[in-house]
Amino acid sequence: MGRRTRTILLTLALYATLLFTTSNAQAKTPLFVFGDSLYDGGMTLYNGIEGAGAEFWPYGDTYFKRPAGRYSDGRVIPDFLAQYVGLPFLRPYLQPGLEDFTQGINFASASACVLVETRPGTTIYSQGGRKFAFQNVGPIGCMPSMKSMLHYDGSCLEEPLELARMYNAEFATLANRLQYRLPGFKYTIYDFHTSLHIRVLNGNRFGFKESETACCGSGPFNGGFTCQKEGHSFSICSNPADYLWFDAGHTTDRANEQFASEFWLGGPNVVAPYNLQSFLAMS
């Protein structure tokens, strides 16, 4: 991962998943992404799991004009972050013939587990990673799938929201504690929970005509994941850019661009103590 004095590591936690980057003085910052379906950059096309979902239309149709293994109508957050750093879209780790990791790689995969033995944090730190950027757990009580499953007809279920808030508060405390326990450890956290929540409640402020019902799916709020399953019936909106949610649990290309932009350039009310642009520039 490069000389320890030159290493910059960004670890981004989203729904308990990770992203990290390393940097050196001779090259653009490569990105190494760990995550679940929210960050999956195409692993689903190569993991051998039948019916994973994002290999079917209408996934990818807005931006790629074809299914691209991403659980969105277009790009996911790491795609935008790679562009901001000046890199091409990251290739999925299981892509055949992949040997060059110098520009980074995307390890994120749908349904990635978060068991202690599978988390990369300790290994990354031991290899020289020192800077970690986390994205906290989103407002799971606002997901169309959650509301549909629990037969809720409002904007967001409070109990799942509170559980996510509690987790995020404890996680922030832990990250701060690690700053003093691990030599050289630095971190920043993007408040994805608040950013997505306010868009659900006030979608029009951010350009979304529909912020509670998904563009693609079935049942209440289009909260059924039927658009991921070949041969199942589902409804699909005519313009995903009008929607916050693309399917029952994943946001649209337009929403992901807004989240990535906040993470990259946002103020301390949304990403603290540093946004990613400032974080990467730090010595």
Is there a catalytic annotation at residue 197? no
Q: How far apart are CA 89 and CA 110, in angstroms?
A: 18
Reading the block at residue 214, the tokens are: 């998904």
The active-site residue out of 37, 72, 145, 195 is 37
Query: Please, are residues 8 and 44 in contact by the beta-carbon 8 Å criterion?
Result: no
Q: Does the active-site annotation cover 247?
A: yes
Determine how β-strand 19-21 pairs with β-strand 31-33: antiparallel
Q: What DSSP assignment string belongs to 163-210?
A: HHHHHHHHHHHHHHHHHHHSTT-EEEEE-HHHHHHHHHH-GGGGT-SB
Half-sphere exposure of residue 102, counting CA atoms within 13 Å on the CB side?
Answer: 4
Active-site positions? 37, 247, 250
